[in-house]
A and B are shown apart, each in its own frame.
Chain A
Amino acid sequence: MRKIRFIAQKEVYHILRDPRSLVIVFAMPILMTFLFGYAINMDIENITIAVADYDKTAASRQLTGDFINSTYFTPSAGKPAFQDPERLLKTGGAAGILTIRPGFAEALANGTEFELGMTVDGADAQLALAVQAYSNVLLSRFLLNQLPPGTNIGGVRISTLVKYNPDLKSSQFFVPGLVAILLLMISALLTSITIAREKETGTMEQLLTAPVKPREILLGKIIPYVVIAFLDGILVLIFAKVIFGMPFVGSKMLLLLFGLIYVTAALSIGILISSLVSTQQVAMMAALVTTVLPSVMLSGFMFAIKNMPTALQVLSHIVPARYFLVIIRGIMLKGSGLQILATQAAALVMLTLVLLTLASRKFKTTVG
C-alpha cells in the first residue's frame, strides 16, 4: 500500500511540475466545452437568404416578407443582381436565393400551376436541407393565408413534441459526449504516456530492480489519472450546467458507477499501448489513433452510427465510448435507469473485461 501511495505521489509531482500536462489536464476540458457549446453550433437559424422578385406584385412582396421576417431566415446584406442572382451564392453573401418569376400573383389568383425557384448553396449539405425544409413550411403557411376566410380544410396536423431536449440544443447533445471523450482521453492517453516515459528515460528499469510488483507500479500510476479524469468530468458538467443550463435528470450514482467501468476500459487500452511501445511520442500517437479518434468519429458523438457504412458500424462495437455515450445521455437527459440501459451496460462491462484481461497479461510479460 505504501509503495502504491509513493508512486501515486510521485506521479502527482510529475503532473504539477510539467506545464504541458497541466494544460492538457485542466485547460483543455474547459476549452473543449466552450468550443462544442458555442462555436460548433448545430442549431440552424437565421440563415441568410436573398429574394429575387421579378413579379413585383402585392402577393410577391407578401411572400418575400414572410420569408425574410421569419426566425429561420434573415435577409442578405446585398441585393441579388437582376441579371445574375446566383452570384450572391458564390460570394457567400447568401445561403439560398428565392426567385419569384413574373406571373406569380396571376397564377395565385387563377389557381394555375406555378413554380417558385429556390437556389441553395449545397456546399453545406445540412444548411441546404434546412433551407428546403423551412421554405416548404413558410410557403404552406403563405398559401393557407391566401384562402378565403372561413374556409374549412380539415384539422389534420403533425404535432411534434420533442422530449428530453425540447429546444433541440446541440450543447445538450455534445456535453455528455464531451465527458465521455475526456474521461477516455485522460485515462488512456496520459497513462500510456507516463508509462512510456519511464521506459524511455530508464527509470522503469531502475524501479523494477527494486522489490516493487508490476501491480503496484500500475496502480500507483493509474490512481492519480483516474482522479483527474473524474475531476475533469465533474468540471465539464458543472460548466455545462452554469453556462448552457444543461439538465441532469437521472441518478448521479449510476453515472458514477458506469463512469468507473468506462474509465477501467480506457485505462486498459492505455496500458496495452504502453506495453507495446517504448517512447512517449509513439504512445501519444497510438493513443490518439486508438482511443480519441474512434471515440469522436465512431461512437455516435458527432455522427449517427446507423448512417455509417456497415464496416464502420461493425467496428463501432469495439469502441467503449459507443456504449458509454448512450448511457450518459440516457441518464443525464432522460433519467434512464439500469433496466433501460441494461443492454448497453452489459456490452460495456463485457468489453471492459476483455480489455482488462488483455492489458494485465501484456503488462506482466513485458515488465515482469
Chain B
Amino acid sequence: MKDSDAVYIENLTKKFGHFTAVDRISLAVRTGEIFGFLGANGAGKTTAIRMLCGLLLPTSGNGRVAGYDILTQSELIKRAIGYMSQKFSLYPDLTGRENVSFYGAAYGLGKSAIRDRLEILSDRLQLREFLDRPTASLPIGWRQRLALAVAILHRPRIIFLDEPTGGVDPVFRRRFWSILYELAEEDVTIFVTTHYMDEAEYCGRISIMHQGRIIEVGKPRDMITQHQAHNLEELFVDLIKGQDQADA
C-alpha cells in the first residue's frame, strides 16, 4: 500500500456460519477520493463497511483505514472516521442541537469545540432553522443533513456513507453531493454506497460488488466505454447478469 491510501484492504473476508458475506475483497482508495461502493442488495456492502469502521471483525484478510490496522487499532480508526448509515441514526426525541452535542461529546469534543463546529456546519448545511426541533418531526431530507453534520462534526479524515440519500428528493441530493465535493477538496476521503446510478457517476472511481466479491473497479466513464454500455445502469445490470451466468 501507499501512504496516500486512505483505505487499503487485502483479501478481506467475513463469514457468518457457512454463509460468506464478504469474499476476499481487495481495494485501495486514495486520500481525497470520492469512492462509490456499488452492489445489489445483499451483495455484502454494509458488512464490508462495518468491518472498515471497526464495528465488525473480519474472519480473515487484513486492511488499514486512515493508516491504522483494522484488526488491532479499531479505537484509533473510530477517531479518524465519520459514519452515516442508511438507517436514520439520530435520537428522535432529542433536538438537532442535542443530538449534535451528544455525538460531539462521544467523539471527545469539548463544549466550545462543539459550539464552534456547529456554527460552521449550520451555515454550510443550512441547519439553523430546525436545530431546536425534535428530529422526529423533521422531513427526511433535513434529518439526513443533520446526520451528515453529526458524521463530520469531529473533522474526520474519511467518511463512510451507507446509502446517505435514500428517500431524499433530487434537489437535496444534488446539494448533498456538492457538500461531499467540498469535503473532498479539503482532502477528506469519501467512501459511499448508493443505489442511484446518477450519483455513482459523480464518484471518482467505483467498485461493483456481487455476492460478496468485487467484480469490477474503475472510473465510471472508463468502465462504460470498456464494456460498450450506454450508461452506468445498463453496465451494472449487464455485469451482474453476466456474473450470475458465469456462476451457473
Contact = CB atoms under 8 A, between A and B. Distances in A.
A211 B75 contact: yes
Given A206-B85, A206-B89, A209-B83, 14 more contacts: A6-B106, A7-B106, A10-B94, A10-B98, A201-B89, A201-B92, A203-B89, A203-B90, A205-B55, A205-B85, A206-B83, A209-B78, A209-B81, A211-B79
Contacts of B134: 17
Interface in A30-58: none
B106 A207 contact: yes
Contacts of B88: 201-202
Interface string A1-24: 011001100100110011000000
B176 interface: no
B87 A201 contact: yes
A143 interface: no
B93 interface: yes
14 contacts: A2-B105, A10-B91, A13-B93, A14-B93, A18-B93, A201-B87, A201-B92, A202-B85, A206-B90, A207-B106, A209-B54, A210-B78, A210-B106, A212-B106
Interface in B72-88: 75, 78-79, 81, 83, 85, 87-88
Contacts of A212: 106
A2 B106 CA distance: 9
Interface residues of A, number: 20
Given A202-B85, A209-B55, A211-B75, A14 B103 contact: no
Contacts of A7: 102, 106
Contact of B89 (A2, A10, A205, A211): A205
A32 B55 CA distance: 43
Given A6-B102, A13-B98, A202 B87 contact: yes
B107 interface: yes
Nearest to B87: A202
Interface of A: 2-3, 6-7, 10, 13-14, 17-18, 201-203, 205-212
B105 A3 contact: yes
A209 B91 CA distance: 15
Nearest to A367: B55
A206 B98 contact: no
Interface in B37-96: 53-55, 75, 78-79, 81, 83, 85, 87-94
B167 interface: no
B242 interface: no
B218 interface: no
Contacts of B150: 206
A174 B106 CA distance: 43
Chain A interface mostly: helix
A209 to B, nearest CB: 4
Interface of B: 53-55, 75, 78-79, 81, 83, 85, 87-94, 98, 101-103, 105-108, 134, 150
B87 A3 contact: no
Contacts of A208: 55
Contact of B106 (A3, A17, A18, A201): A3
The 4 closest A-B pairs by CB, nearest first: A202-B87, A206-B89, A6-B105, A209-B83
A206 B92 CA distance: 14
A362 B65 CA distance: 28
Given A10-B91, A201-B87, A203-B90, A210 B55 contact: no
A126 B107 CA distance: 62
Nearest to A210: B106
Given A201-B87, A203-B90, A205-B89, A211 B102 contact: no
A206 B105 contact: no
Nearest to A203: B89
Nearest to B88: A202
A211 B94 contact: no
Contacts of A10: 91, 94, 98, 102
A176 B81 CA distance: 51
A209 B53 CA distance: 6
B94 A13 contact: yes
B91 A203 contact: yes
A10 B99 CA distance: 9
A218 B248 CA distance: 48
Contacts of B105: 2-3, 6
Looking at A2, A3, A210, which has the most chain B CB atoms within 10 Å of its CB?
A: A210
Contacts of B93: 13-14, 17-18
Contacts of B108: 2-3, 211
A232 to B, nearest CB: 22
B16 to A, nearest CB: 14
Given A13-B94, A201-B92, A211-B79, A206 B103 contact: yes
